[in-house]
């Protein structure tokens, strides 16, 4: 074997020591949001059912790839009446559009760039990125974590339901803040 081939094999071996594919651990992760209500307070919510996988490079402490999927029907704002309305066809239309998806394109510094699809509309989005790193947990599993935060305008995705308030303003802000905290376990 010549030196170039040996170097390439060594490089591939070393790269595999630092990067890995992780499945999202739903029990140690959250996909949340908050939105201004009546212009004076925030309503927070989560999606309780989501799946996905990601690649994390331990050497550079950087997310390399991510694909995630959220079940719209699992929306939870701690108010069943409101959650039922959010699932209805005038807001999320969960029966017709059961999934929200995100696919990472790249990470540059503390920004994550990707495509976000909700209610059948796909748009580019930029989110703030925080790397958590890679460790061995007490049970011997290799785990990794990261966080994504950002904003989107719900009307850009066809979610336009609202009520005008007598005192001015609207019942629900167009701006939605995303709060995504992910932990995953290395796929063996």
Q: Please write the tens of the pLDDT for every residue from 29-41.
A: 999 998 765 566 6
Cβ(87)–Cβ(60) under 8 Å? no
**Nearest by Cα to 185 from 156, 143, 150:** 143
Task: Give the C-alpha separation, 175 to 172, whole Å.
Answer: 9
Let me know: does 114 contact 104? Beta carbons within 8 Å.
yes
Expressed in percent and rounded to 5, the helix, strand and coil fractions of the chain are 20, 55, 25
Give percent of the chain with pLDDT exceeding 70: 79
Return the pLDDT at 185: 96
Predicted local distance difference test score (pLDDT) of residue 41: 66
The parts of the chain modelled with pLDDT lower than 70 are: 1-18, 36-41, 161-174
9 DSSP 8-state letter: H
What's the farthest any 2 CA atoms get from each other in the chain? 80
Among the listed residues 86, 89, 90, 117, the one whose alpha carbon sits nearest the alpha carbon of residue 103: 117
End-to-end CA, the chain: 30
- pLDDT at residue 153, as a whole number: 87
Query: Which tokens is 155 given?
Result: 């009307």
Q: 61, 179, 66: which is closest to 131 by C-alpha?
A: 61
Superfamily of domain 19-186: Lipid/polyisoprenoid-binding, YceI-like (2.40.128.110)
- CB < 8 Å & 24+ apart, contacts of 26-29: 26/50, 26/51, 28/145, 28/183, 29/181, 29/182, 29/183, 29/184
Domains of the chain, by residue range, sit at 19-186
* DSSP string over 88-144: STTTT-TTT--EEEEEEEEEETTEEEEEEEETTEEEEEEEEEEEEEEEE-TTS-EEE
pLDDT digits (tens, 9 = 90+) for 141-165: 999 999 999 999 888 988 775 555 5
pTM of the model: 0.84
Write out the two tokens for 66: 């991510």
pLDDT for residue 13:
39
């Amino acid at each position: 074997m010549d030196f170039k081939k040996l170097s390439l094999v060594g490089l591939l071996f070393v790269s595999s020591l630092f990067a890995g594919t992780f499945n999202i651990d739903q029990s140690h992760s959250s996909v949340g949001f908050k939105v201004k209500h009546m212009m004076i307070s925030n309503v927070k919510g989560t999606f309780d059912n989501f799946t996905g996988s990601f690649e994390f490079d331990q050497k550079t402490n950087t997310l390399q790839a991510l694909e995630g999927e959220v079940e719209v029907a699992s929306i939870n704002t701690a108010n069943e009446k409101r959650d039922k309305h959010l699932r209805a066809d005038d807001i999320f239309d969960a029966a017709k559009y059961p999934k929200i998806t995100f696919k990472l394109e790249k990470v540059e510094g503390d920004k994550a760039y990707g495509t976000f699809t909700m209610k059948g509309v796909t748009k580019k989005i930029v989110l703030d990125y925080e790397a958590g790193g890679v460790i061995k947990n007490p049970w011997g599993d290799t785990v990794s974590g990261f966080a994504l935060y950002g904003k989107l305008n719900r009307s850009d995705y066809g979610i336009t339901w609202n009520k005008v308030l007598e005192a001015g303003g609207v019942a629900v802000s167009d701006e939605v803040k995303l709060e995504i905290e992910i932990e995953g376990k290395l796929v063996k």
